[in-house]
Structure 1
Amino acid sequence: VILVKAMVSFGQMIYPIVVSTMLLNHVWYGYAVIIPGVLFVVITLMLLKSRFPSQMVDAGLAKDLPQMNSKPLVWLEGVASVL
């Protein structure tokens, strides 16, 4: 979650600089929309082809895994991740 927020903040900082540089150099403004769109499609296709491990856990192995001491406060963790 932290890395996602960091990348979004980085993009929000860099994108206006890229757009203003393009405008100052008389480059077509559409590239500022097309290039991120193409990157989005390429990354999405790469993720669709990726293999992820199975989420199924054997019941015998689940007993050996460490358990939480108390039930998590989902609302508090949600608010903390948004902030």
Structure 2
Amino acid sequence: MARVEYHWIIMLNGTAGPTQTQVMLGDHGLVTRDPAVTTRKDIVDELVTGLRNAFLARTGTLLENWTIANFQLEPNKLAGE
């Protein structure tokens, strides 16, 4: 099983609170996965869940009506250079 380190960037756009305030949040980082058993969709689903959970923990409010404003996932080619 060959594992690959990926660099990712994600931004979500949505609404929060009773006034449905417009919110944009994002994050970036590294994730290591086996591409033979993990799809791009698996990774984005994990990241969206993590970002929404972090927003809820930080604000006490759910991020609703969310969409993915930006998502990039690329092999971290600089890691081995």
**Structure 1 length normalisation: TM-score?**
0.33
For CA contacts below 8 A with separation 6 or more, give which structure has more relative contact order. Answer: 2
Q: Which has the higher helix share?
A: 1
Task: Give the number of the structure whose alpha-carbon radius of gyration is greater.
Answer: 1
Q: Tell me the TM-score normalised to structure 2 length.
A: 0.34
Decide which structure has greater strand share. 2
